[in-house]
């Protein structure tokens, strides 16, 4: 069998799931930002991918969740954060990091449910610090590149965090979701095209991912200590982030949370469907 193609991201938060896979002859890692991975599955460019949850609900091709790992949190997330120069309830517009569609949907949902805010979301290139739409140019007369409110996700929340003095109002979206629902949150989970859920290549990839995640959990401190500097994270903060903030097992509570989120998004018109498809347990590894 040819190498299985695994779509993944290069953020620190994926290290517990993918560390070591690049050394295996049966695996080929294909890296992209989260927002690009679902389209790679739609085009059959990868066999499995760690897909943003809202993208599965919006995909043009039915997707199936492979419960062999996820990126989630059960409380504060640390790297999915809303920064604002005004009180949250006064926000009218959010410059939203385009790397993760789920985080943008979660932000809109939380602003509506908790603060009664229906803010306009502006696609925002957080690396270049400017809107990506020609309809939202940067104001040339404004010397600061920082918008009034912005949503950032991933390593850049830590490595290129905006000045706290400029953004006195902040919201950790994982923490806010937990307060709202009492549930963990699922940002992304391993998926495949639903029509390929029983494909031997997909089954092989699922078994590989499940085994590697379990193995990495036994040596996570050493992995994080080695990988944190290359992601420009302080080692102590990286250990807290990976060891205490994040969750990587897609268990029953995570499944309940994922279903709840998609249902709430559908109710707000943020997703076209309330149904998530899960691969049949018989098709997946049992240990």
The chain-wide mean pLDDT, for the chain, equals: 89
> Is residue 287 within 8 Å of 73, Cβ to Cβ?
no
Question: pLDDT tens across 273-287, in order?
Answer: 767 889 875 445 544
Range 217-239 average pLDDT: 96
Question: pLDDT tens across 242-264, in order?
Answer: 999 999 999 999 999 999 999 99
Dist CA 32 CA 37 (whole Å): 7
For the chain, where do the domains classified as CATH 3.40.190.10 start and end? 4-72+185-283, 80-181
Question: pLDDT tens across 9-54, in order?
Answer: 989 999 999 999 999 999 999 999 888 899 999 999 999 999 999 9
Of the pLDDT bands very low, low, confident and very high (cuts 50, 70, 90), residue 141 is very low
**DSSP state, residue 77:** -
Residue 287's pLDDT is what?
43
Residue 142's pLDDT is what?
41
Residue 140's pLDDT is what?
44
Q: How much helix, strand and coil, in percent to the nearest 5, is found in the chain?
A: 40, 25, 35
> Is residue 86 within 8 Å of 77, Cβ to Cβ?
no
Residue 272's pLDDT is what?
85
Range 132-150 average pLDDT: 59
Residue 227's pLDDT is what?
96
Q: What angle do CA 99, 94, 104 make, to 5 degrees?
A: 40
Residue 1's pLDDT is what?
63
Sign of CA dihedral 21, 27, 30, 34: negative
Question: pLDDT tens across 69-104, in order?
Answer: 999 999 999 999 999 999 999 999 999 988 888 999
Looking only at the bridges linking them, the beta strands covering 149-153 and 130-131 are unpaired
Three-state DSSP state, 131 = strand
The tokens for 42 are 């739609």
Dist CA 231 CA 228 (whole Å): 5
Dist CA 276 CA 133 (whole Å): 31
Residue 157's pLDDT is what?
92
Q: What is the dihedral of CA 191, 33, 213, 29, to 10 degrees?
A: 90
Residue 134's pLDDT is what?
46
Task: Evaluate if residue 265 carries a pLDDT over 80.
Answer: yes
For tokens 């059959």, what's the residue? 44
Residue 129's pLDDT is what?
55
Q: When comparing pLDDT for 140 and 12, which is higher?
A: 12
Residue 275's pLDDT is what?
76
Nearest to 50 by CA among 20, 40, 238, 60: 40
Nearest to 157 by CA among 86, 81, 73: 81
Residue 161's pLDDT is what?
86
The tokens for 64 are 């199936």
Of the pLDDT bands very low, low, confident and very high (cuts 50, 70, 90), residue 121 is very high
Pick the CATH number of 80-181 from 3.40.30.10, 3.40.630.30, 3.40.190.10, 1.10.10.10: 3.40.190.10
Range 231-240 average pLDDT: 95
264-273: buried (b, 16+ CB within 10 Å) or exposed (e) per residue?
A: bbeeeebbee
Pick the CATH number of 4-72+185-283 from 3.30.420.310, 3.40.190.10, 3.40.720.10, 3.30.460.10: 3.40.190.10
Dist CA 139 CA 150 (whole Å): 16
Q: What are phi and psi of 50, to 5 degrees?
A: -85, 100
Name the least confident of 21-30, 144-153, 196-205: 144-153
Name the least confident of 24-38, 71-85, 121-135, 210-224: 121-135
Nearest to 277 by CA among 50, 44, 45, 53: 53
> Between the ranges 121-135, 140-154, 159-173, 178-192, where is the mean pLDDT highest?
178-192
């Amino acid at each position: 069998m040819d190498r299985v193609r695994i779509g993944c991201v290069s953020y620190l938060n994926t290290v517990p799931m993918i560390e070591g896979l690049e050394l295996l002859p049966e695996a080929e890692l294909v890296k992209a930002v989260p927002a690009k991975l679902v389209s790679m599955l739609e085009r059959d460019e990868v066999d499995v991918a760690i897909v943003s949850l809202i993208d599965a609900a919006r995909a043009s091709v039915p997707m199936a969740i492979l419960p062999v790992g996820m990126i989630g949190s059960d409380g504060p997330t640390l790297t999915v954060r809303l920064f604002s120069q005004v009180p949250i309830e006064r926000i009218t517009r959010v410059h939203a990091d385009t790397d993760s569609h789920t985080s943008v949907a979660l932000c809109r949902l939380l602003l509506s449910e908790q603060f009664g805010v229906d803010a306009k979301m502006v696609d925002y290139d957080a690396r270049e610090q400017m809107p990506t739409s020609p309809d939202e140019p940067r104001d040339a007369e404004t010397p600061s590149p920082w918008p009034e409110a912005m949503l950032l996700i991933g390593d850049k929340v830590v490595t290129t965090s905006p000045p706290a003095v400029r953004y006195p109002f902040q919201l950790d979206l994982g923490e806010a979701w937990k307060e709202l629902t009492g549930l963990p949150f699922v940002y992304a989970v391993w998926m495949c095209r639903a029509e390929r859920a029983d494909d031997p290549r997909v089954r092989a990839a699922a078994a590989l991912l499940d085994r590697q995640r379990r193995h990495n959990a036994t040596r996570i401190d050493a992995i994080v200590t080695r990988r944190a500097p290359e992601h420009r994270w302080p080692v102590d903060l990286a250990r807290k982030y990976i060891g205490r903030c994040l969750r990587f097992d897609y268990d029953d509570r995570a499944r309940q949370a994922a279903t709840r989120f998609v249902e709430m998004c559908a109710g707000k018109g943020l997703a076209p469907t309330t149904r998530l498809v899960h691969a049949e347990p018989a098709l997946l590894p049992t240990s």
